[in-house]
Amino acid sequence: MATYHTGEIAVQDRAELSEQARFSLGGIGSAVPEVAAAFLTEQPAIFVGGQDAAGRVWASQLTGPPGFLQAPTPHVLTINALPEPGDPLTDILAAASGRPARLGMIALEPATRRRMRINGRAVAAGSGLRVDLDQVIANCPKYLQKRTYRFLDPDTDSMVLREVCESASLSPAQQQTVREADTFFIASTSDSGDADASHRGGNPGFVEVVSPRLLRWPDYVGNAMFLTLGNLLVHPAAGLLFPGWETGSALHLTGTARTVWDPAVASAIPGAQRVVEFAVESVREVLGSSPLRWSTPAYSRFNPPVR
């Protein structure tokens, strides 16, 4: 039976949304329904998060032709892909041959604004992963921008050489990438090590670059589960991924996050119920990270305006 951990309950109580959270608990299961299994087989990417040996949390993505994700049983997900060299999850998942790696995942279909979160324990299996599932979570389509995808054609498209750049703070160009973003993914873990990956979306500018090492974004109305904020309360380490939808790049950040509960801070940002601040500890940008290219977005009608 699904339950919330102490951090999630504490955030639900503080937000005065405990009753709604109890209702939303019905959306958390441990098995993939048949319709969701079919959804997974149609996706060309899955966004993932986990914790490395140093305790840092990272978010990334795995890609492949539709069918690379399979749910052979309701309690197992297979992923026919592994991170490429330079990806911050490469070492985490390489170690999964020795013992399971806790992995948070979210699959989404921007063209239809459908998504689902699936969390579990990953082990290496051939050229990919087998994940024994602990949580399967239904998510609403709010704040998801519509996009369609295509894979690069090596015969007609210019290929981008894979290049990895690391730093301790955001460069001016990377800061601009964050300011222009309408979507990012956040990975977090509970105090017991269970991993989760979630989506955040809004109109461009909804993520504020306070400084090269500090970001801030509004926490909009959601399902009141507070799975991410609950994790951050008990374990502030977090990882962010800003995908380059049109370029195939990936901007990975790791650091710590905290929720700002001051109503005066939230009231200054349209649509914000509260605000999250992220302190950057390390930056890894990978050019040529993904073979996918996505169309110009159609923004969600739920996105609040940006000041």
Residue 306 domain flag: no
| Listed residue (207, 269, 265, 266) closest to 240, CA to CA | 207
Q: Is residue 72 part of a domain?
A: yes
User: How many separate domains does the chain show?
Assistant: 1
pTM value > 0.85: yes
How far apart CA 228 and CA 199 sit, in angstroms, is 10
What range does the domain containing 287 cover?
6-294
Q: Is residue 303 part of a domain?
A: no
Nearest 5°: phi and psi at 242?
-110, 100
Q: What is the DSSP string of the chain?
A: -----HHHHHHHHHTT-HHHHHHHGGGEESS--HHHHHHHHT-SEEEEEEE-TTS-EEEEEEE-STTSEEEEETTEEEE---PPTT-TTHHHHHGGGTSPEEEEEEEEETTTTEEEEEEEEEEEETTEEEEEEEEEEE---TTPPB--EEE--TTTSPPPPPEEEEESS--HHHHHHHHH-SEEEEEEE-TT--EEEEEEE-STT-SEEEETTEEEEEE----S--HHHHHHHH--EEEEEEE-TTT--EEEEEEEEEEE--HHHHHTSTT-SEEEEEEEEEEEEEET--SEEEPPPB--TTPPP--
The pLDDT of residue 275:
98
Decide if 59 is inside a domain: yes
Output the domain CATH number for residue 203: 2.30.110.10
Q: Judge whether 305 lies within some domain.
A: no
Please report whether residue 302 resides in a domain.
Answer: no
Domain for residue 252, yes or no?
Answer: yes
| Residue 80 maps to a domain | yes
Q: For the chain (length 307 residues), average pLDDT per consecutive 10? A: 92 97 92 95 98 94 97 97 92 75 96 95 92 91 96 85 96 98 98 95 98 98 95 98 97 98 96 98 96 97 94
